């Protein structure tokens, strides 16, 4: 049973070329592909709510996951708390996630330009003008949407609470 579960999780985690083939197939089958990206370091209810809402906008949901080196550059040397393999496995365990690709760059522009999802999603703390890949998705006939975030939940704030309680 566990071996089968591990195989199912691993099948969701792909390199970019493999995921591109999956996306092309899904689109040929009439599926609507939704894409988001992020660090997803300490998985919390804010992440789950956001991703579930994003996934509900289409029939296939894929995530671009920042690699560890990218997270360090964006968030600092103490991050990520969980390495990319563990973060990817946790995301793969979510039933509404269909694909995950890890990227080394600071932005997912290459992923988005390669995959050209039908819908690109970010949190409502972004505007369409500053969402990486928005121009590419819109130029390809896709949509860009923002989703309200659950207030009071972020990996950074959780880490801060842990540090404050420890001191």
For the chain, the structural domain boundaries read 2-166
pLDDT band at residue 86, thresholds of 50, 70 and 90?
very high
Q: How far apart are CA 61 and CA 22, in angstroms?
A: 12
pLDDT at 149: 82
**Is the per-residue pLDDT at 4 higher than 70?**
no
How does the average pLDDT of the chain come out, rounded?
91
* pLDDT per position as a tens digit, 135-165: 999 999 999 999 998 776 666 676 677 777 8
What DSSP line would sit under 19-79, residue for residue? HHHHHHHHHHTTPPEEEEEE---S--HHHHHHHHHHHTTSSEEEEEEE-HHHHHHHH-TT-
Q: How far apart are CA 154 and CA 3, in angstroms?
A: 32
Percent of the chain with pLDDT over 70: 91
The model's pTM: 0.90
* pLDDT per position as a tens digit, 19-51: 999 999 999 999 999 999 999 988 889 999 999
Percent of the chain with pLDDT over 90: 75
Strand partners, 62: 35, 99
CA dihedral 81, 87, 89, 93 (to 10 degrees): 110
CB atoms within 10 A of CB 20: 16
Domain 2-166: give its CATH architecture: 3-Layer(aba) Sandwich (3.40)
Tokens of 79: 């991050």
User: 81 or 165: whose pLDDT is higher?
Assistant: 81
137: burial class by Cβ within 10 Å (0-12, 13-18, 19+)? buried
């Amino acid at each position: 049973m566990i071996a089968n579960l591990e195989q199912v999780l691993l099948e969701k985690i792909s390199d970019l070329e493999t995921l591109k083939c999956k996306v092309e197939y899904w689109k040929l089958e009439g599926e609507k592909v939704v894409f988001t990206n992020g660090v997803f370091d300490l998985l919390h209810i804010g992440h789950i709510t956001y991703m579930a809402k994003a996934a509900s906008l289409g029939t296939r949901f894929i995530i671009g996951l920042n690699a560890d080196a990218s997270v360090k550059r964006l968030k600092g040397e103490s991050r990520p708390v969980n390495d990319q393999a563990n973060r990817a496995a946790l995301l793969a365990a979510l039933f509404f996630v269909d694909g995950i690709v890890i990227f080394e760059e600071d932005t997912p522009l290459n992923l988005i330009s390669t995959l050209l999802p039908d819908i690109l999603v970010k949190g409502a703390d972004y505007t369409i003008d500053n969402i990486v890949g928005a121009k590419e998705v819109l130029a390809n006939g896709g949509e860009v949407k923002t989703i309200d975030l659950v207030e009071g939940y972020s990996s950074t704030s959780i880490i801060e609470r842990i540090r404050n309680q420890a001191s």
